[in-house]
Structure 1
Amino acid sequence: MSSTPDLQQIHDFLIDLAHEAGKIITSSLPRVDTTGSKKNSADLVTEYDRAVEKKVSETLREKYPDYDFLGEETYSPEHQLTDAPTFIVDPIDGTTNFVHGFPNSCISLGFAINRRPVVGVVYNPVTNTLYSAIEGHGAYLNRTQRLPLKGEDLEPLRGLDNALVALEWGSERSGNNWDTKVNTFASLAGSREQGGAMVHSIRSLGSAALNLCGVAAGYLDLYWEGGGWPWDVCAGWLIVREAGGIILGGNPGDWEPRLDGRTCLAIRASPGGQGQKELAEELWSHVKGRLEY
């Protein structure tokens, strides 16, 4: 095997693998595993999470035995992200949606080198929707339609009061990070008379990867998050960037976030990058506290 990864080959292989793994998800109804290691009722795991990760990890290790693997269901504190070429996998992002039959969950398959995403594949098997990207080659919907979807007709960004914003509650429902999230949400949604941003509206898709893909597609203007893991964001991170968007950290002034930094601010493409920096600074001005993970 060449010492330089063939990103196109990896991209194509991950797409095929995502479709195969998707068959596991759509094969039958989920059953929650109440004996799993998730910490509370909002942080679910199903037999399908483990089955998909087993399928993906075994296939990748057979095809690419020299590359590292980091997956949600097999993660341990001793197994941290390194600079080595690494597959970063979330078998089902949006497990709560999946359990409730809400059709907004996906398989997220990323590949990173030097902790930088270079290949990303996000596949929702329920809607048969595929987002994918290779570093330097753009991002696509269903392999043919380049992102963002509006292309040359994409509107400039015009501030939070014109923005459709994605936010997630997460499974951590107490402590400093929870307080920071709730107070930030309130400030973003609140009226300008009360010091709020009065954002156009807020969406919670229930999947970090699909929120990021929504930003890449251009139907979400931004996504602010704290608490995500590398497998939640790796693939979508690249897809946003290849679609002309930017990825920043969730805390004010974090212009160069780490893939494993566990905070994220994604902003969609805009003609000539118009308004991206200003929108980031406006969003950060409404962060009430500091996210710490």
Structure 2
Amino acid sequence: MIDYVAMAEMIRGWVEEAGDILRESLADNSIKVEEKTNPSDLVTEMDRFIEKFYVQKIQEHFPDHKILGEEGTYDTFEDLKGFIWVIDPIDGTLNYVKQKRNFCSMLAVFNDGEPVLSFINDVIHEELYEGVKGHGVRCNGHLMEPIAEHPISEGLVSINTRMEMRDPERARSIVGDSLGVRLMGSSGLEMVQVISNRISAYVTTPLSFWDVAPGMVMAAELGLKMTRPDGEPIKLLENNPIIIANPMAYEQIIGKFSN
């Protein structure tokens, strides 16, 4: 039987080291920045450096595992058998460049298509969230409690700006039923807000798989619902719109997509 707790202990050290590197890099004003698809879609040399750092660690300790990385590390996937690692070295690169905060570094591990491990490191606040299948979710080593159900009328929500532009009527309906909306510009940190019960739900238009993969095992361990807006499961290795919310808020929101 695979000891996921032992794996997590090893990986935790890598993620902490990557966080230290990223914090130190914020003082370096000479970091190279490039556009990928548009002026708000950026990549820095630190994105590539951190991804390479993770890849080297994975290949050293788990040479037969496959890897999918945001910044160009792609293995060939004929199926979902075995271990697949999903890397988002800096989630919220625009924030990293412009704000020097509100970004995170993320890893997720799947085994035979099932999410088994994940890490979201809120670098600036030094909060490391760690999900292990069957062993719950921890923040800086402290076990987190399952989220109590509550309606969206009792909490805040997060909706990404593309949804506000592409589906304004539905976005207004969701926000109107809540106490208000909060945006961070990092899908990893938005998911952390739900996992930490700071907001009731996070709803998005399609995101890359590395943007959502780390939330899957954490949501399952804390009793949250995380699916596509049509109620279908997250499609592995594909872009996905998502809803992640406590069960009561989830049912309220998903009902708006079935109308």
Query: Which residue of 217, 236, 246 maps to 1:259?
Result: 236
Q: Distance in 1 between matches of 2:106 and 2:19?
A: 11
Change (3 A) 1:74 1:139: same
Read off the aligned partner of 2:130 and give its amino acid letter: S
Q: Distance in 2 between matches of 1:19 and 1:155?
A: 30
> Number of paired residues?
255
Query: Which residue of 272, 284, 288 maps to 2:254?
Result: 284
| CA drift at 1:117 | 1.1
Change (3 A) 1:220 1:53: same
Q: Secondary structure of 1:227's match? A: strand
Residue 172 of structure 2: aligned partner: 186
Q: Distance in 2 between matches of 1:108 and 1:78?
A: 21
Q: Secondary structure of 2:256's match? A: coil
Q: Secondary structure of 1:256's match? A: coil
Q: Distance in 2 between matches of 1:188 and 1:166?
A: 10
| CA drift at 1:79 | 5.6
Q: Distance in 2 between matches of 1:222 and 1:259?
A: 21
Residue 215 of structure 2: aligned partner: 236
For structure 1, which runs of at least 5 residues remain unmatched after alignment?
171-176, 190-196, 269-275
Read off the aligned partner of 2:226 and give its amino acid letter: I
8 A contact 1:180–1:288 mirrored in 2: no
RMSD: 2.5
| CA drift at 1:178 | 7.4
8 A contact 1:42–1:96 mirrored in 2: yes
Q: Distance in 1 between matches of 2:75 and 2:212?
A: 18
Residue 135 of structure 1: aligned partner: 133
TM-score, with structure 1 as normaliser: 0.78
Read off the aligned partner of 2:125 and give its amino acid letter: T
Read off the aligned partner of 1:7 and give its amino acid letter: Y
Q: Distance in 2 between matches of 1:84 and 1:136?
A: 19
Read off the aligned partner of 1:121 and give its amino acid letter: F
Change (3 A) 1:51 1:288: farther
Change (3 A) 1:224 1:61: same
Q: Aligned residues: percent identity?
A: 24
TM-score, with structure 2 as normaliser: 0.87
Q: Distance in 2 between matches of 1:102 and 1:178?
A: 25
| CA drift at 1:76 | 5.7
Residue 194 of structure 1: aligned partner: none
Change (3 A) 1:6 1:23: same
* Bigger proportion of residues as strand: 2
Counterparts in 2 of 1:133-212, with a 5 A limit?
A: 133-144=131-142, 146-148=143-145, 156-158=149-151, 160-169=152-161, 180-189=166-175, 197-212=176-191
Q: Secondary structure of 2:42's match? A: coil
Change (3 A) 1:90 1:82: same
| CA drift at 1:259 | 3.4
Q: Distance in 1 between matches of 2:212 and 2:79?
A: 13
| CA drift at 1:279 | 2.8
Residue 12 of structure 1: aligned partner: 9
Q: Distance in 1 between matches of 2:74 and 2:224?
A: 32
Q: Distance in 2 between matches of 1:181 and 1:16?
A: 41
Residue 87 of structure 2: aligned partner: 89
Q: Secondary structure of 2:106's match? A: strand
Residue 21 of structure 1: aligned partner: 18
| CA drift at 1:24 | 2.2
Read off the aligned partner of 2:171 and give its amino acid letter: F
Change (3 A) 1:11 1:76: closer
| CA drift at 1:44 | 1.1
8 A contact 1:110–1:121 mirrored in 2: yes
Residue 119 of structure 2: aligned partner: 121
For structure 2, which runs of at least 5 residues remain unmatched after alignment?
none
Q: Secondary structure of 1:65's match? A: coil
